[in-house]
Chains A and B, each alone.
Chain A
Amino acid sequence: MSNQHSDQLPHQRATNLGFGRILIVIYALFAIAATSRSIVQIATVFSQAPVAYTLSAVAALIYIVATISLARADRTSQRLATIAISIELVGVIGVGLLSLFDPELFPKATVWSGFGSGYGFIPLILPIVGLWWLRKTRITD
């Protein structure tokens, strides 16, 4: 495991250890679910709700990037994970607000609609926990 993040200082905790392993699995599950669903939606019914289905694809991509970068746990990956998870947080709040105030924009639900209410609000909680974990395990110079 140590060779995967050789540019870390020895006393620092990696994003892929301890609680981070559980966090990575949650992100991986969301990545698999969102990617599979998005591929089917775009391939079969894209014209019904292009905005919603494009957003689903963006969400899937963000989950993939977050999963891989949290698992790699080196300095660059931590930065990438921070960017991806920040975009995720902005996305889930933005789409949540838009789906609330302009529901016509999203005739079909996305993973982020209603602040992730379709998934037990996990999409809203996940980036907050993710950013907390990245801050806790941050690699400093």
Chain B
Amino acid sequence: MTGLFADALISLYLVLAIWAGIHILINRPVSLTFAVVAGLAIVMQLIFLIGGISQMGETSQDFSRPEFVGYLVGSLAIPPAAMWWTRNDTQRTGAGVLCLVFLVMPVLIIRIQQVWAGSLV
């Protein structure tokens, strides 16, 4: 749950948040390239979920497993929902929504890591 892959995913989300922030400043909707990179982040999030559940099955450490799975599944649903919600947005608010969501995603990954480490519900 920790390590290079999680760090890469957090970094990618931060890049997407900054990228969306630039679109807010220039008052333009996000580009197709942005959508492709966001799609890559979603695929990585899916791999993170599969890896997380796989690791959960192999470990005997004490942590809240329902909360862990809940966070993994919930965090996978958020970026596609945000992309769908802003799909036809021609104003900077769409970029604002994406900026916010891609700032929240690293926090969620850190939260998943905290749950994995055994913090209480």
- The interface size of chain A toward B, counting residues with CB under 8 Å, comes to 19
Write the chain A residue with the least CB distance to B88: A1
- The interface size of chain B toward A, counting residues with CB under 8 Å, comes to 22
Write the chain B residue with the least CB distance to A25: B97
B121: chain A residues within 8 A (beta carbon): 37, 40-41, 44-45
- Is A22 in contact with chain B by the CB < 8 A criterion? yes
Q: Would you call B78 and A21 a contact (CB within 8 A)?
A: no
A41: chain B residues within 8 A (beta carbon): 121
- Is B96 in contact with chain A by the CB < 8 A criterion? yes
Please measure, in the bound complex, the distance between the C-alpha atom of A128 and the C-alpha atom of B50, giving whole angstroms. Answer: 39
Q: Select one of A17, A18, A25, A40 contacting B101, CB under 8 A.
A: A25
B97: chain A residues within 8 A (beta carbon): 21-22, 25
Closest approach, in angstroms, between the C-beta of B16 and any C-beta of chain A?
A: 15
Q: Mark B21-57, 1 if CB is under 8 A from A, else 0.
A: 0000000000000000000000000000000000000
A29: chain B residues within 8 A (beta carbon): 78, 101, 104
Write the chain B residue with the least CB distance to A39: B70
Q: Would you call A40 and B85 a contact (CB within 8 A)?
A: no
Q: Would you call B70 and A25 a contact (CB within 8 A)?
A: no
- Is A105 in contact with chain B by the CB < 8 A criterion? no
Closest approach, in angstroms, between the C-beta of A15 and any C-beta of chain B?
A: 13
Please measure, in the bound complex, the distance between the C-alpha atom of A45 and the C-alpha atom of B54, giving whole angstroms. Answer: 25
A36: chain B residues within 8 A (beta carbon): 67, 70-71, 74
Pull 15 A–B residue pairs with CB atoms less than 8 Å apart, ordered by A: A17-B93, A18-B91, A19-B93, A21-B97, A25-B82, A25-B97, A26-B100, A29-B101, A36-B67, A36-B70, A37-B121, A39-B70, A40-B67, A41-B121, A44-B121
- B→A interface (CB under 8 Å): 64, 66-67, 70-71, 74, 77-78, 81-82, 85-86, 89, 91, 93-94, 96-97, 100-101, 104, 121
Q: Other CB < 8 Å A-B pairs besides A18-B91, A29-B78, 5 of them?
A: A21-B85, A21-B86, A21-B93, A21-B96, A28-B81
